[in-house]
Chain A
Amino acid sequence: MTREVSAYNASLTQSLRRYATLRLKQLRGFWRRFSKNRAAVGGLSFVVFLVIVATLAPWLAPHDPIRFDLVPELLLLPPQQSYPFGTDQFGRDVLSRTIWGARVSLLVGFLAAAVAGLVGITLGSVAGYKGGRLDNLLMRATDIMLTLPTFFLILIIALFFGPSIFNIVFILGLTSWPSTARLVRAEFLSFRERDFTTAARAVGMSDLRIMFLEILPNAIFPAVVDITLLIAGAIITEASLSFLGVGDANVVSWGWMLQESMKVFRRAPWTTIAPGLAITATVIAFNLLGDGLNDALNPHLKER
């Protein structure tokens, strides 16, 4: 008995090692294709830059982003040496606030997309693998979510359950999974009947292991692309919510800065330019990254 188990383990280790080398090869090919795409590399670089800025915010920001004393000489200063992006109507440094705002946007984007990805991948794999009535039911639910005006659903929930940053992340994640679920389901449908799945079933692997160890690694690519685009969407939605006044008032966020600048932007356009540009550039970066990933992961699409 023990000998059988150890033999099984040995063969498992071997196949895992083979699998790892195969993956590494695929990864190298992927990187070769990805790095040729200049727009995508640009997007990735900007995202890396943002992550660094967000992490180092306390050291990079020249002034305190939140504390203010209403000294008339400090209010709505145009850009100058000590305040490169000017100050807002409370006398706070716009540059420092923009730097700190990167934290919230990235946090919301990454976490919300992670939640959405988790839900979407799970539902999509179950629906695609099991098929039948469960599939029907799950896809009906997905269709309903797709037709619902999600932004307003998020708005209402955030409004009434208190717009703390984690509530927003959670709601965003729980409403933006349908696209991922659909993509993963489609992949699972095509992989379900492949030989390697049948083989795994013949060896007696459990459904869960087949789904998540055998099929998912092959079916994950469209989901990765979709999740990257979901990050961009989540950042815009968070900014829009804050702009509507349904944002976390305790954190510095780009949407909130834009909301505050509504009252003064005609006198002090710099209060709106910096956060707006920051959002736009971030969203462009994630969109480019998503497109680049898509092209690099599906090389056959590019040939057209």
Chain B
Amino acid sequence: MLIMMLTFLIVQSAPGDPVMYLVSGLEHAPPGFIEAKRAELGLDKPIYERMIIYIRDIFTGNFGYSFIYGSAVSEVILAKLKNTLILTVTALLIEVLAGTVLGIIAARRRYSVVDAAISVSALAFWSMPFFWMAILAILMFAFYIPIFPIGGMITPGTTGMNAYPDIAWHLFLPATVLGLGRLGLYTRMTRASILEVMHQDYILTAWSKGCDERTVLFKHALRNALLPLVTLLGLRMGNLFMGAVLVEIVFGWPGMGTLIYDAIFTRDYAIVQLSFLMISIVTVLANLGADIVYAIVDPRIRYK
């Protein structure tokens, strides 16, 4: 609700008018045409009245009308959101799995060459802007060594069962770029967290019981060490979507990113507004999800 009001106020109080954009092609619009168009779109009403209408519409499922696309915004966005979610979930799987595994390796061989290599590359990937990494990936693996497609989501004309491997083939590079970019978050956290847990008394107990390293690490230490990762996952959702949007634009992946990118250049209020709203909702939900998972995996926390 708060997010809705905020979005509305920011977008509406800005200079620029979609009606002006619509009529910009018509050099000699008949007098009264602009006013009529404004009334049609409800832009002649005062701002607070429009805000109430806007919020009421959201709750009744009417998300507004894209001035440019000319169809209901919700349909446009839902299709794109699905594609973005395919990308983000794949990237999330890559980064969490690879990140924790590398973090565990780094913690087990701390201060070794392997540890240093993992830390350095994770920092380098984390410090690269997502879109630049995407550009480099295209240059290297789609242009110089053409093993992956340069962009898009599917080869035109592919249908039926053939579509899935084709989409996966198109998905590989963008998802890997997004996942690699955020790998550092997890390797660092896992490494630090394991090293911290390994110094606690109950780990000493496990050692003294005669457990081997594998048992101590995987049965005793890891459970507690991975707890902070769940919170991190929730908190960094916004960053994930930021990355997804940027990577999508470079790869031409037809998701929220390309949608927002096009909407920016056409000043399509409804699209930008709703995209922000959708991303905010997904982020908040992901946060909530992380909190719930945290409560489930950590028996010390009980929500009443």
Contacts and interface: CB of A to CB of B under 8 A. Distances in A.
A58 to B, nearest CB: 26
Interface of B: 2-3, 6-7, 10-11, 13-16, 123-124, 126-132, 135-136, 138-139, 143, 195-196, 199, 235, 237-239, 241-242, 245-246, 249-250, 260-261, 264-265, 272-273, 275-276, 279-280, 283-284, 287
Most A Cβ at <10 Å: residue of B13, B132, B136: B132
Most A Cβ at <10 Å: residue of B15, B124, B242, B261: B242
Contact of B280 (A152, A245, A276, A280): A152
A303 to B, nearest CB: 10
Contact of B2 (A144, A156, A272): A144
17 contacts: A144-B2, A149-B242, A152-B276, A159-B14, A240-B242, A243-B131, A243-B249, A258-B129, A262-B250, A265-B135, A266-B143, A272-B136, A272-B139, A284-B123, A284-B124, A287-B123, A288-B123
Contacts of A288: 123
Given A244-B249, A244-B264, A280 B135 contact: no
A280 B125 CA distance: 9
B261 A148 contact: no
A243 B128 CA distance: 14
A304 B199 contact: yes
Interface in A274-304: 276, 279-280, 283-284, 287-288, 304
Given A144-B2, A258-B135, A149 B11 contact: no
Contact of A272 (B130, B135, B272): B135
A236 B126 CA distance: 10
Contacts of A245: 261, 264-265
A236 B3 CA distance: 25
A280 B129 CA distance: 7
A236 B241 CA distance: 15
B124 to A, nearest CB: 6
Given A147-B287, A149-B242, A240-B242, A280 B128 contact: yes
A138 B287 CA distance: 19
A265 B132 contact: no
A152 B243 CA distance: 11
A246 interface: yes
Given A276-B128, A304-B196, A160 B10 contact: yes
Contacts of A232: 127
Contacts of A266: 138-139, 143
A188 B26 CA distance: 62
Contacts of B260: 155, 244
Nearest to A286: B127
A269 interface: yes
Most B Cβ at <10 Å: residue of A149, A239, A244, A272: A149
Given A245-B261, A266-B139, 13 more contacts: A144-B2, A147-B283, A148-B238, A152-B242, A153-B276, A155-B260, A156-B276, A157-B10, A161-B15, A265-B135, A276-B129, A279-B129, A304-B196
